[in-house]
Amino acid sequence: MTEGSASLVVEGTTSIHSRAKRLAVIHNPIAGRGRLRRYAAFLDALKARGLIVKELPTSCRGDAERWARQVSSAEGDMLVAAGGDGTINEVVNGLLANRQGGRELPLAILPLGTANVLAAEIGLSDDIESCVDCIVRGEVRPITLGQMNDRCFLIMAGVGLDAHVVAQVDVGLKRKLGKLAYVAKLLQQLFTYDFPAYSVTIGDKSFRASSVIVAKGRYYGGRLMMAPRASLFQDKLQVVLFKRSGPWHAVRYGAALLLGMLPRLEGVQYLEAEALRIEGPAGDPVQADGDIIGLLPAQVSLIPQAIRLVVPVQAS
């Protein structure tokens, strides 16, 4: 083992302890000014730890996935996605294709997004030094991804009101207002959305709902508890069915989510599945990890131990 790289396998995880690890960092150089300052501080902190960085900048949607498809051990022995959950989703889809091509790199993250749900899920602080410390001293753990049609997702996918909100949020407004851009669009949708019914089929059973969330992680929109029994590290999906339709019930669901009471709210049904099918109005949008990834109908399944994610030691 060389001085620059040392690893220890412990109960299916790999603990990283390295003083000079080569990192390939996918990032967006035209992100907001505050995020650029945060990214620059991240680079300085990496270099202070003696880490070697190769930057892989993006210029448009799809570039992050393209870089992740192409990256190899020549660029680094760890990949870092510096961005929001949508960017990380792109990287993971590319990394999965990369893995299928025979090259598998562990993935670490620098949360730079609006909600940073994955960071919340693995217990990663927003603090720059904590992010760098995770890269240097964290664990590499295999995680199971969800798959919606031909796209994979890390945290959750959904159809219904939330997918329509995501589909209509203006990117420029999102950069300026952050989460408030979603709130503004949600309030507008309450008066214009027609709340159609969706059909969910699990095995030989069918269910009806006004909105559906399929979760691999517990949180939604940041640190709001959506699916308490979901886990990145387990081979199962937690399906959340919002049974009641209309603006009033949408407001009830939103308030319960904000107050941490959603799992106890009447009209919300929780199911577990390894695969399911969602049907509804043809061409209705499907969102995953905060971005639109396709249209209904949707077949949802699992990809066990799909990629290796660098997590803080306490993640479980």
Chain mean pLDDT for the chain: 88
Domain that holds residue 183: 151-303
Nearest to 35 by CA among 123, 118, 128, 152: 128
Q: Give the model's pLDDT for residue 14.
A: 52
CATH number at residue 229: 2.60.200.40
In a shared domain, residues 227 and 122: no
Residue 176 shares a structural domain with residue 72: no
- Residues 119, 173 share a domain: no
Q: What is the pLDDT of residue 32?
A: 55
For residues 138-163, average pLDDT: 95
Instruction: Specify whether 161 is located in the same domain as 286.
Output: yes
Residue 138 predicted with pLDDT over 80: yes
Let me know if residue 316 belongs to a domain. Answer: no
Residue 211 has pLDDT above 50, yes or no: yes
Tell me, yes or no, whether 135 and 192 share the same domain: no
**Are 156 and 130 members of one domain?**
no
pLDDT in tens, 224-279: 999 999 999 999 999 999 999 999 999 999 999 999 999 999 999 999 999 999 99
pLDDT band with cut points at 50, 70 and 90 for residue 114 = confident
| pLDDT of the residue at 12 | 46
Provide the pLDDT confidence category of residue 19 given band limits of 50, 70 and 90: very low
CATH number at residue 16: 3.40.50.10330
Clarify whether residues 258 and 298 are in a common domain.
yes
299 and 189 assigned to the same domain: yes
- Contact call for residues 286 and 148 (beta carbons, < 8 A): yes
Do 157 and 276 have their domain in common? yes
pLDDT of residue 35: 85
- Rounded to two decimals, what is the model's pTM? 0.88
Query: Smallest Cα–Cα separation from 148: which of 269, 299, 39?
Result: 299
Q: Given pLDDT bands bounded at 50, 70 and 90, which one contains residue 11?
A: very low
Same domain as 170, residue 137: no
228 is a domain residue: yes
The tally of domains found in the chain comes to 2
| Residue-wise burial string across 134-170, b where 16 or more C-beta atoms lie within 10 A, e elsewhere | bbbebbbbbbbbbbbbebbbbbbbbbbbbbbbbebbe
118 with 156, same domain: the answer is: no
Burial of 203 (0-12, 13-18, 19+ CB in 10 A): exposed
